[in-house]
Structure 1
Amino acid sequence: MSAPESTRIGYIGLGNMGAPMAKRLLDRPGGLTVFDTRPEAVAPFTDAGASGAASPAELAQTCTLVSVTVLDDAQVEDVVAGPDGLLSTAQPGTVIAIHSTIADTTAVDLAARCAEHGVELVDAPISGGAPGAKNGTLAVMVGATDEAFAKVLEPFGTWAELIVHAGPVGAGTRMKLARNLLHFISFTAATEAQRLAEAAGLDITELGKVVRHTDAITGGAGAIMWRDNTSPLDPDDGWFPVFSHVRALGEKDLTLALDLGERLGVALPLATRALTDLGPGLGVGSGDTARSRSPRSRSPHGQKEHA
């Protein structure tokens, strides 16, 4: 059963992400209680009709569903299990949702401690940034029991557009870490592309416009993330021709970019790795272009060897 709309929700941590998320809970029938160490962060909520708590412990006295959006593992542990934390007063059946990105082991360990009090902890990290929080279009990846997941669906839906049950406690955080792995490797790749463009005499701000425009159309890296496993594909698999085509285009364009980098004296280590790993990563193996540029076919200085 989902949590009834009459459930009073507590929200702890009213920063750049927490404040807009909590704001979208103000109109829920059950009411909202908030806590933050900064009075100036709490004031807009109490002015709008929410209740303010002096501590997590006080908040847990009246709230059986609590969202936590604080900085790091240490703050999460203090809010949940510290001397004045939620567990000191939480009623059995309370659900504590951690939206902060923490270690998956922290989530699992805290969930075990919560269980000793009859409290369920779910790890529910979010993706979508401050704009997603403001617009109510976040994605949330939930590690929880089926029962706890059912309880958070309705309230999470006030600020999230996509709610994924990733698995048991810890799975939400593991999914968020995989998602952010892609995010920051992509950022690093963007800096490599900027170096190449700058060396070629291009305006990298204009390149940025092109990237943002076309990623909004194609979906960026997410456009290839349709498979349900990462095993090599059978040639009869329907995805095989699709990803073989992606590999062919990618190996061609990566080779052209690497050739440009060599002419301009710009090192492109991520592009070099991508040429090697693209086909196998897609499950279709390396193509002729990647094999021809393998380290065994090149000199120590990166130039092709000629017979």
Structure 2
Amino acid sequence: MKAPRFKNWFAKVPSLNGPQRRQVLDALHPAAGLDQVVALIAEIRAPGRCCPRCGNGRCYRHGFANDLQRYRCCACGRTFNDLSGTPLARLRLKTKWLAYSQVLLDSLPVRKAADRIGVHRNTAFRWRHRFLHWVKLDRPAALNGIVEADETFLLESQKGSRTIDRPARRRGGHASKRGISGELDCILVARDRDGRTIDAVTGRGALTAAQLERDLLPKLAPQTLLVSDSNIAYRAFARKHGIAYAAVNLRAGVRVRHLGNRAIHVQNVNAYHQRFKAWLLGFRRVASRYLSNYLGWRWALDGERISTPEQLLRTAVRVIYR
């Protein structure tokens, strides 16, 4: 609508009656939500906007498509928008993205999430893992000071798979073997005393020193003190890499011991395990292949690190950890 026509239309707004005003507001509400999402995406991507193919930062505007400004790269000629190369590329219904971000903050299961925002349950499930794809990467660069590390285990699940490599279990079932076995997913969690946390699904069965080298060693800052239970994998790992190490013998009933003026325990990381498992119960088991997404989701919620839909959308579009 051109400016003169808009001015004439807008001048008549005060003369609308109540039902007519509600009708206008109902028509404008989705558009306002879309404008908010599009503006937020542009704000997030503008500082580092570059071509997803060649990485060149020189580009120019090249029309609109799917409600987003398109750009053409000056180097390779490729066209792209601010969602190209992100997990949210080609997702539709942008008017519902902020509402769905709030659903994730509320930790709703798939069907309840679909009912709240008015989409199909398959869409709600697909969106969940597209939104969480980069959220799980939004982690601290390093852990400092006293670093508590411990592992926890969940029964492996092939929920949703078309083919499984074992007999099906009824309602989740139980492991056929006692203790730690290849039927359990091992989740390593390390946390320093400032609350910075990293985690990893290391594989099936007992934790090994090689897995600690792969998943924990790159995240340990120099001069850290690694604290764990009496699992020999941590001792072998620390000795090999010259890391200061202390252990607490939980099996002997020792919960806390003191090393100088420092308290040695793994209570912070064990409390994190408990919060994660209690939160996970609301989803009635999750597939092992998606477990890393749920770990990232829990970390985002822990301590209200991400507390608004706008913050979550920012992280889903661009990893922002500082």
Relative to its length, the structure with more strand (as a share) is 2
More helix by share: 1
| TM-score, structure 1 as length reference | 0.24
- Structure possessing the higher relative contact order (Cα contacts under 8 Å, 6 or more residues apart): 2
